[in-house]
């Protein structure tokens, strides 16, 4: 049974790993590699793959948004994700497969074998129903906010409690996490992360900075009727949104 596939991941090294492992699967033809959600939607509509290797966490348009944009029918999806094991239960509940990064070749081979079996025994409509059920479950679930962020530290993954974060600094598609004396780099945009953090705990001060409200010591006037937020460690951050909004948020945080 010959299959076609499209690979979607915004990390070049992650795409390279999947591409290398797919080279050992001669019955699977890789049609395209996509570095973001819009590219993936366009490629899938143009080439209609049997199989989609889909990164869940991508800036601006994540994997679930890609599936919603595609509509029906949907290809069979193998999710590639850095979510922890509790988060992937949603995939398991729908009998969908996923690769938890960093995954080993044996786990990849097992996921591909399962995909072959599913595609050979099931109708496309059944695959689509599964994926739509997952999307509906996620849409209906009550909003929750993350309490830990997974960051890479050489060959390990560390979990930083959001309560330990002082402030977050945008740097393109990456974020620098300032937590006490430690700094960590997270592959995410500040806009995407903002929706995952509790608004009772964090506030976006500007396009490039978000602060833990508990770390604000005072607000000082600056030039041209602007203000500077001073944190408990002495860090000074420009405030480009209204001072009254900050005051209101501090009252109820």
**224-252 per-position pLDDT tens digit:** 888 999 999 999 999 987 787 788 777 66
| DSSP for 159-188, written as a single string | EEEGGG--EEEEETTEEEEEETTEEEEESS
The total number of residues written for the chain in this structure = 253
Superfamily name with CATH number, domain 148-252: LytTr DNA-binding domain (2.40.50.1020)
- CA distances (Å), 248 to each of 178, 237, 241, 243, in order? 24, 18, 12, 9
Q: Residue 86: is its pLDDT beyond 70?
A: no
What local confidence, expressed as pLDDT, does residue 121 receive? 77
Q: Provide the 8-state DSSP code for 225.
A: G
Evaluate if residue 128 carries a pLDDT over 50. yes
3-state secondary structure of 206: strand
SS3 35: coil
Inter-residue contact 75 to 4 (CB < 8 Å) = no
Considering only CA atoms, which of 36, 27, 37 is closest in space to residue 3?
27
Third-level CATH fold of 3-140: Rossmann fold (3.40.50)
Give per-residue pLDDT as tens, 24-64: 999 999 999 999 999 999 999 999 999 999 998 887 788 88
The confidence score (pLDDT) of residue 94 equals: 57
Domain ranges of the chain: 3-140, 148-252
User: How much is the pLDDT for 83?
Assistant: 61
Query: Cα dist. 192→58, 173, 182 in Å?
Result: 9, 10, 22
């Amino acid at each position: 049974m010959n299959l076609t596939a499209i690979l979607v991941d915004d990390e070049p090294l992650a795409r390279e790993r999947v591409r290398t492992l797919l080279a050992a699967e001669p019955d699977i033809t890789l049609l395209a590699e996509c570095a973001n959600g819009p590219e993936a939607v366009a490629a899938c509509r143009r080439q209609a793959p049997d199989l989609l290797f889909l990164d869940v966490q991508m800036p601006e348009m994540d994997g679930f948004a890609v599936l919603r944009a595609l509509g029906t029918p949907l290809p069979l999806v193998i999710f590639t994700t850095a979510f922890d094991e509790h988060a992937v239960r949603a995939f398991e509940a729908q009998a969908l497969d996923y690769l938890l990064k960093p995954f080993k070749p044996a786990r990849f081979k097992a996921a591909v074998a399962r995909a072959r079996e599913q595609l050979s025994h099931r109708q496309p409509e059944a695959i689509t129903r599964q994926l739509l059920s997952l999307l509906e479950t996620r849409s209906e679930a009550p909003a929750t906010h993350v309490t830990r962020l997974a960051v890479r530290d050489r060959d390990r993954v560390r979990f930083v409690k959001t309560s330990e974060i002082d402030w977050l600094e945008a740097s393109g598609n990456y974020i620098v996490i300032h937590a006490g004396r430690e700094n960590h780099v997270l592959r995410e945009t500040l806009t995407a992360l903002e929706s995952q953090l509790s608004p009772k705990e964090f506030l976006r001060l500007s396009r490039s900075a978000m602060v833990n409200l508990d770390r604000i010591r005072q607000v000082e006037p600056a030039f041209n009727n602007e203000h500077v937020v001073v944190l408990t460690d002495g860090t000074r951050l420009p405030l480009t949104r209204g001072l009254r909004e900050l005051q209101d948020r501090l009252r109820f945080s």
